[in-house]
Amino acid sequence: MREAASRARRRTADLARGVEVIRDHLKTLPQTPGVYRMLAGDGTVLYVGKARNLKRRVTNYTQVNKLPVRLQRMVSETETMEFVNTHTEVEALLLESNLIKKLMPRYNVLLRDDKTFPHIMITKDHDYPQLTKHRGARGRDADYFGPFASAGAVNRTITALQRAFLLRNCADTVFASRTRPCLQYQIKRCTAPCVGRVSPEEYQAQVDQARAFLSGKSRDIQGEFARRMTEASEALDFETAARYRDRIRALTAIQAHQDINVEGVVEDADVIAAFADGGYTCIQVFFFRGGRNYGNRAYFPSHDKAAETEEVLAAFIAQFYENKAAPALVLVSHDLPEIELLTEALSLRAGHRVELAVPRRGEKRRIVEHAQTNAREALGRRLAESSSQARLLEGVAAVFGMDAPPERVEVYDNSHVQGAHAIGAMIVAGPEGFIKNAYRKFNIKTEGAAGDDFAMMREVLTRRFGRALKEDPERTQGSWPDLVLIDGGLGQLNVALEVFAELGIDDVTLVGIAKGPDRDAGRERFFMENRPPFQMEQKDPVLYFLQRLRDEAHRFAIGTHRAKRTKALGRSQIDEIPGIGPSRKKALLHHFGSAVAVARAGLADLEAVEGINRTVAKKIYDHFHPDG
C-alpha cells in the first residue's frame, strides 16, 4: 500500500516537473507555424509534433487534466524541448513526418516497415532500350512503371512482357559484347538487337507498344495483336499467327494477375484502408496504375492503444509518402483530421495535384471496402499469431522457471571459417514474433578471439551489455532482454555467466541450448545455472519454438558471415594502400593484369601507368616493399 502511494507521489511530482519545463519554453515561443520535439533526460526524442501556432499548441500540454493518460506520461518524462520554425503549416507537416521517420519517437504513430517498392524500368538513354526491374533512386533517364507491391509481382510481369514485346533485359555492357544471340532469343523473349536481328525502327515499335501497355492502353495493344494474328492466318502465314497468339496469351497472363480494368479506377490511384481492433491497427495499401492492380501490402504501425483510427491513418499516410510521390488519386477509408492540409502537403511533395478522397458510394467505395476487408482479415491473422506466440512465451517461462513470460528474447550465435571473417550475431523475438530491426551483428575485434568460440561469445556479450548499461541503465527503452539464449553448451553458458557477473547483471535469465547426439534436432539439451542439464519432450510446441529461435540466429549468423566473406573476396592488396581509389586501382589492374603483378612491379613500371605519378608510384612500391 505504501509502495503504491509512493509511486503515485513520484508520478505526480514528475508530471508537475514536466509541466514546469514546458512553461519555461512558452516564454520565448513565437505564434508561428513550426515543429516541436519533446526530449527525455538522456536526449531520447519522446514525441515530434507540428503546429500552426507553436505557442498555442504547446500550451495545451500544460493543461494536464485535459490530456489523455498517454500524453500525461509523455509530459512527465519531458526534460527539455526543441523547436524549428517554418514558413507554413504545410512545411511543418512535411518536416514532422520526416523527423518521425528519422527519430522514431515512441509516443508517435510509427511506420516501421517502409522499404522502397520495385518498379519496371524501360531505359531511354540507349538506341535499344532495356526492360528491367528497378528499386531505389531514379538516377537514370528512363520511364518507370509502378510501384509493385512485391518483387515477385514485378518478376512475373517482366517475364510476360518479354514474351509479349520481345524486349532485351541484359545490361548494356553485356549487350555491347555479344557476337551472337543469347538464350533469350532462342526461347522467343527477345528479338536480338545486340546482333542486328531487328532494325532500330522495329525495336522502337516494340518499346512503344510496351510503354503503351504499361500506361493503361492494354485493350488497344491486345486488339492490334489480334488484328495482326488474323491477317497472318488469312495469308496462311501460320508461324507468324502463332507468334502473335503467344504474345496475346502473355498479355492475358499479366491481366489475370493484375485484375485489369478494375471498374471505378481507370487512373493511377492508391487505396488505403484501416481496420482497428484490440488496440492494434492494420492498414492495407493497394496500388492501381493505369487501371491495373499492382498488388497490395499490409502494415501494422506502432501506436498507443487509445489512439483513434483516423489519427493513426493520417499519421501513416504522411509517413508513407515521405519518400515517394503520391499518385493523382488516393482513396481512404476514414475521414481524416486536417485532410486539406495533408492533401496540400502530398501535392507539394509529389509535384502534382493529389486528391485525397473518402468515397461514399459506387465502385470506388466498393474497392475501399474490399481493402478494408483485407485489413480486417490480416489483423485477425496477426492477432491469432500473437495469441499463439503469447502462449508459447508462457510455456518458455514455465520451462525456465521465470516469474513472467519474457517480453524480449535475445539469441546469440557465432560464425566463422577457421577463424576467418568471424562475426557474432544477435536476433530478437517478442510477443509479436521476430523483431528484425533489432537484429545486430558484431565484427570480432579482440586479437586472438576469431576462431575461439568462447572468446568470441565473451566479446559479443561484453559489447552488447556494456553498451546497454551506458545507454539505458534504467531499462526504460525496451532494449533489455528478459531471456538470453546462447547457442552452445555448458562452456558457452559459463562464459555468459562470467560476463554478466563482471557487469553486475543478475536479473536476466541465461540459457544455453546445445544440439543432442549427432546434432539431432529434437534432442537438444538445455543448460542453466544451478540446474542439471535437461531435455524436453520431442513433440513439445515450446521445444519447436525454441528450435525456431535458435535456427533463426544460426541463419542470421551464417548469412552475415557469408556477406562479409563475399565482400572480402572482392578486395585485393591494392585496397589497403592509402590514397588508391577505384580509378587508380582500375588503371593498375588493367595495366598489370592482377594485384600480384602490381606487387612485383618496379618503380619505373608503376610510373608508366596512366594516372600514377612518381609520388603515388613510390607510395605503392613502399607498401609492397617496406624494407626497401
- C-alpha grid cell for residue 313? 491513418
Chain segment 353-366, per-residue pLDDT in tens: 999 999 988 888 99
User: Who wins on pLDDT, 522 or 321?
Assistant: 321
More confident call, 581 vs 20: 20
The pLDDT-based confidence of 265 (bands split at 50, 70, 90) is: low
H-helix or E-strand spanning residue 371: helix 362-400
Highest mean pLDDT among 110-114, 333-337, 521-525: 333-337
Q: Are strands 483-487 and 409-417 parallel, antiparallel or unpaired?
A: parallel
With 80 as the cut, is the pLDDT of residue 592 above it?
Answer: no
The mean predicted confidence, pLDDT, of the chain is: 84
What one-character DSSP code corresponds to residue 237? -
Helix 541-569, helix 362-400: angle, nearest 10: 100
Closest residue by Cα to residue 431 from 454, 408, 412: 408
Radius of gyration from C-alpha coordinates of the chain: 31
pLDDT digits (tens, 9 = 90+) for 193-246: 999 898 989 899 888 888 888 877 767 777 777 877 888 788 887 877 887 787
Nearest Cα neighbor of 63 from 15, 30, 25, 105 is 15
Contact in structure between 481 and 408 (CB atoms under 8 Å): yes
Residue 402 has pLDDT above 80, yes or no: yes
The beta-strand segments (E) located in 290-357 are 292-299, 329-332, 355-357
Range from 184-188, 469-473, 475-479 carrying the lowest mean pLDDT: 475-479
Is the pLDDT reported for residue 595 higher than 90? Answer: no
pLDDT digits (tens, 9 = 90+) for 50-71: 999 999 999 999 998 888 888 8
Place of cell 486488339: 223
Is the confidence at residue 409, as pLDDT, over 80?
yes
Q: pLDDT-based confidence at 260, cuts 50/70/90?
A: very low
Report CA-CA distances (Å) from 547 to 321, 436, 490, 558.
39, 17, 18, 16
For 169-201, b/e burial (b = at least 16 CB within 10 A) is bbeeeebeeeeeebebbeeebbbbbbeeebeee
Distance between first and last Cα of the chain:
80
For the cut 80, the answer to whether the pLDDT of residue 275 exceeds it is: yes
Q: Which of the pair, 309 or 9, is modelled with greater confidence?
A: 309
pTM: 0.66
Candidates 533, 536, 456; CA nearest to 499 is 456
pLDDT, tens digit, 9 for 90 and up, residues 66-113: 888 888 889 999 999 999 999 899 999 989 988 998 888 989 888 876
How far apart CA 298 and CA 307 sit, in angstroms, is 19
Q: Is the pLDDT of residue 346 over 80?
A: yes
Q: To which H or E segment does residue 186 belong?
A: helix 183-186
pLDDT digits (tens, 9 = 90+) for 150-159: 787 788 888 8
Residue 247, SS3?
helix
Alpha-carbon gap, residue 282 to 295, rounded angstroms:
16
**Domains in the chain, start-ordered, CATH in brackets?**
15-103 (3.40.1440.10), 118-216 (no CATH), 269-381 (3.30.420.10), 406-472+479-558 (3.30.420.340), 573-624 (1.10.150.20)
